[in-house]
Amino acid sequence: MKPHNFSIEFFPPKTPEGVEKLRITRARLAELGPKYFSVTFGAGGSTQQGTLDTVLEIMGEGHAAAPHLSCLGSSRAALRDILNEYKSHGITRLVALRGDLPSGYGAMDAASSEFRYANELVEFIRQETGEWFHIEVGAYPEMHPQAKSPQDDVRHFAAKVQAGANAAITQYFYNADAYFSFVEDSQKLGVNIPIVPGIMPITNYSQLMRFSDMCGTEIPRWIRLKLASYGDDAESIRAFGLDVVTQLCEQLLEGGAPGLHFYTLNQPAATLAIWQRLTT
């Protein structure tokens, strides 16, 4: 089942070798015809130039690209400059996030930030640039780890939409029911923008566990046990991960998900393999 709307996420490479490798990755994934590529933005603007350079390179190759932009720890003046720079390059799509402060910054720093939540960033972008940008925001079917309750979290999500978001991309998850329930709860609050599931291919057990602990994604017990049972057998992990994630994508698309957003971690193989399964 081919999704008609899908996007692909990269992070900005830090080394010349990484830049070269990403060019090759991108060329392979571009053949699938994604709607756009998105490029992450490091906490506190740490990858600001790398994000812009990667986005401009993608646009130069003739593809649509969206920089991510996070606000925690950044000033209004700094964000205004970034928005103006993006506009001057003809960038019209953004993924707007609160971001997380790098470890070492305390709760005090977060509290004194000019922006505290993503809805404030969306509001600011609309105030500064009107309807210039198509704005995507983050959504958390299994609840953002810092939220007080799922109800609170979905209300905060709705506030981002009211502030002017056009669409949302979710955190990755492996429970399709959590996604459908989140979409339903959002709709009850009047949200009617597309909520695109974020898809994380499974290729490495320890890395998956580490990421998932950080971002609050649950790895269902049966998946965890199976992955653990493969030990160092990378081939079995990849094959099982491909089955699990392809089935998840099918379930989501059959249930009405408006598209898919692939977290590639700059590696093409797993996304290509899922895509091939979905389309044959």
Return the structure tokens found at 95.
């993924």
Least distance from ligand FAD to the Cβ atom of residue 47, Å: 8
- Which are the catalytic amino acids? 9
Contacts of 81 (CB under 8 A, 6+ apart): none
Find residue 207's DSSP bridge partners.
none
Q: Does 171 bind ligand FAD (CB under 6 A)?
A: yes
Amino acid residing at 54:
T
Output 93 or 238, the one with its CB closest to ligand FAD.
Answer: 93
Options 40, 113, 264, 271; binder of ligand FAD; rule CB under 6 A: 40
Output 215 or 269, the one with its CB closest to ligand FAD.
Answer: 215
Least distance from ligand FAD to the Cβ atom of residue 228, Å: 26
Spatial CA neighbour of 208 closest among 262, 172, 260, 180: 172
Stretch that binds ligand FAD, among 29-37, 85-93, 122-130, 144-152 (CB under 6 A): 144-152
Output 208 or 237, the one with its CB closest to ligand FAD.
Answer: 208
Task: Report the 10 Å Cβ neighbour count for 119.
Answer: 22
| CA–CA distance, 263 with 67 (Å, rounded to integer) | 14
Options 75, 146, 151, 229; binder of ligand FAD; rule CB under 6 A: 146
Find the binding residues for ligand FAD in span 88-127 (CB under 6 A). Answer: 95, 97-100, 117-119
Options 19, 30, 32, 43; binder of ligand FAD; rule CB under 6 A: 43
Q: Is 69 helix (H, G, I), strand (E, B) or coil?
A: strand
- Would residue 111 be called left, alpha or beta, if left means φ above 0 and alpha means ψ between -120 and 50 degrees? alpha
Stretch that binds ligand FAD, among 24-32, 85-93, 150-158, 225-233 (CB under 6 A): 150-158
Find the binding residues for ligand FAD in span 173-212 (CB under 6 A). Answer: 198
Q: Where are the beta strands (DSSP E) in 161-263?
A: 167-172, 195-199, 260-263
Least distance from ligand FAD to the Cβ atom of residue 45, Å: 10
Output 127 or 276, the one with its CB closest to ligand FAD.
Answer: 127
Q: Which helix (H) or strand (E) holds 191?
A: none
Return the structure tokens found at 86.
């993006």
Amino acid residing at 216:
G
Q: Where are the beta strands (DSSP E) in the chain?
A: 6-10, 36-39, 65-70, 93-97, 134-139, 167-172, 195-199, 260-263
Binding mask 65-94 for ligand FAD (x = CB under 6 A): ---x-x------------------------
Asked whether the beta carbons of 196 and 258 are under 8 A apart, the reply is yes
Options 55, 165, 169, 227; binder of ligand FAD; rule CB under 6 A: 169
Interface residue list for ligand FAD (CB under 6 A)? 40-41, 43, 68, 70, 95, 97-100, 117-119, 138, 144, 146-147, 152-153, 156, 160, 169, 171, 198
